[in-house]
Structure 1
Amino acid sequence: MRGGTVAVVGGSIAGCALASAAARAGADEVVVLERTHGRLADRGLGLCIHDGRAAELAATGALPAGIAAHRLTRRRWVVRDDTAAGPAGRVFWEQPFPFHSYHWGLLWRGLREATPASVVYRQGAAVTGVAGDGERAEVRLAQGTAEAFDLVVGADGYRSVVREAVCPESRPAYAGYVCWRGNFDARRLEALGDGGWPAESVTTVCFGGGSCVIYRIPGPDGPRVNWVLYAMPPQTGRLPFDDPTSFPPGRVTEELAAHLGALLDREFPPYWARVLGLTEPADTFVQPIYDLETARTTAGRLLLAGDAATVVRPHNTSGAAKALQDATAFEDAWRRAGTWDELLHAYQAARGAAGREMVALARRLGRGQVEQTPAWAAMNHREAESWWQGQLGGAADIGGQAMTP
């Protein structure tokens, strides 16, 4: 199928990938409508992409070459042991971890720079509503205007306006726990000098009721250390967990900061507590954990991708890969289709069940690593491997599923 006009609502990772896919597939016009005015590249979060998924995505063009990435190979699971282990704790299990880590902003910049020149990228274009039941789709903008397209792609995240039209019954559900996140310049590790870990290793610190993943990522000015700590929030007070971005960097409440400090003192091996302590308050934030699945990813002339289609808990390490896979499936469906209906049907068949399966896996991982943690310190290597396979529940690995050729 050739020609047609496409609006992509949202201009972050999923939005750039879907816009590029539409342009490569042959759309006459592709417009990205991004609500923010600021620099998306300033977002400094770390993320990982499984090596197998990265190879598939690179082959299709969805993951451009040359984007800074840090190679990871092993994951070590650690517990505090005040009797036998040193300040870095005791490693009770080690597993392969075939991933590369990324800086969110650098990944977005690479995707944005790879977007074909024919794509119009409009910042400050806030979409307040969409409609797509007929032969055309319409987007309504905050300034009161409306624009018509042949297809509208919702890549506008967990608060998706497009999803409200496709699946109004689907809303993000709070999982009951949060994560503290932070990152800092890796050169700060030199001040500790009494632990350390191989640059290609991920460390997971385990404790009753939670866990923390620590690894290196590339940064604009050199390597950084990225960490994500999952645990139940304080039970006192009334903290607003109605929004996954309730506590952005630099705005963590005193209560949440104190709770994190108590967790580090009580549960962490001393070395890893000091590692997290190197993070500046301005680089620390708290993210309530949510998930969401949708019964469908298309309706009329509307289509959902990335977090607009499914919100997967971060334990699965699949968010970026899933967004790029959505773009790959979209481009493939376009090239095979003769009509818009055929395109939408093929995309739904390719991505609907895949998203729901990833949500289910991440829920199992959340139960095992936060909500119903095992007796980590009593585990040996064989018991840990068995526990892990139980969490996977038949999935080959975390990091997302291989795409069907």
Structure 2
Amino acid sequence: MSFILHLGNSKQLSPALLLLMSVSCGLAIANLYYNQPLLADMGRTFGVDDQRSGIISMLTQVGFAIGMFLFIPLGDIYEKRKLITVLLLAAFLALIFLATAQTLIWLYAASLAVGITTVTPQIIIPLAAEIAAPNGRGKAIGSVMSGLLTGILLARTVAGFIGELFGWRVMFGFAAAMMFGLAFILFHQLPVTESRTKLTYIELFRSIGQLIAKQRTLRESALIAAFMFGAFSAFWTTLTFFLEGPNYRYGSTLIGLFGLIGVVGAATASIIGRLTDHVNPKRMIGWMSVVVLLSYLSFWLLGTWLWGLILGVVLLDLGYQGVHVSNQARIYSLLPDAGSRLNTVYMVSSFLGGSIGSVCGAAAWSRWGWSGTCAVGGSMAATAFLVWLGHRLTKRE
């Protein structure tokens, strides 16, 4: 315990503090993804079909976009440690609300609330970028993103295991307990930071519009992120239905284990972060976009074979996190004093795209099956690549 308490006394990004922030991001962001391997079970509880079950995932992502728009800009004007603590406690209450849902409308509302309150990782990431040395910002972002992406992927494994043994309600109750404990730890361990921006809440939002108008790199990154996360979400939202179907007939535990496969890709986030300190991150975005396209080619042609599906999962998670880390390295270098607002534009765009990918993926699955899912995800990935290519042809960085 003395080792952990020492972390809060430092205002520099030490390796120990960076590890704590990485783990915290992973634990917090997992709240958005626990439902994915449990969608079929949750749907059966309330007697709804796969398409209406998919709305649960969509509402969680829409809620996350709303929460980011409302709360993340506050990181530029309020002390980040207190803001993170309050939001974690709000997530605790939302998860309790979800775990005790008695009707489908209650479940939908609770899923939206979980999304709205699960925004602390997007305050921790700018905090890491802020206190990191300028020549180590990419490494810091990559390390925190590695923790975040590992949390996203392991969330499915943990949820599948606990959901099959004890039911989906126990999973969300467990998540609520973790958020309460994390709020206590981070309040005592994170460094206190001072805001360098003196704006009112209304002025803060006005300045976001000005940033969008003035920063072309921000607009490009946000658009790429929206389509790329849409491609990512279309796959993970419908994977449960595919694996439960006649090709595999897997239960929640085996479905959740697919999250472990993606950790191979997420583990390289810190490596890509280091590369962005030395290699043009825009070039990395192009390369990683091609990797995502290859993943959907694998899903379409080889998805009915387990090895082909595994190959696609590794490529999808590797490509997505490569685009994401490289995009964030670009936007955080634009205006250091506006890190939270830049992140707001970027992440709101990303998760709006993710929510569209989820609902379109679920609808395509219901109508056309696995080929429909591949068409939606592959089209969104291709659009992201074309956005990157178009901007690269008109402007060099």
Do both proteins adopt the same fold according to a TM-score greater than 0.5, normalized to the shorter chain? no
* TM-score relative to the length of structure 2: 0.30
Higher-Rg member (1/2): 1
* TM-score relative to the length of structure 1: 0.29
Structure number with greater CO (CA < 8 Å, separation at least 6) is 2
Structure (1/2) with the larger strand percentage: 1
Structure (1/2) with the larger helix percentage: 2
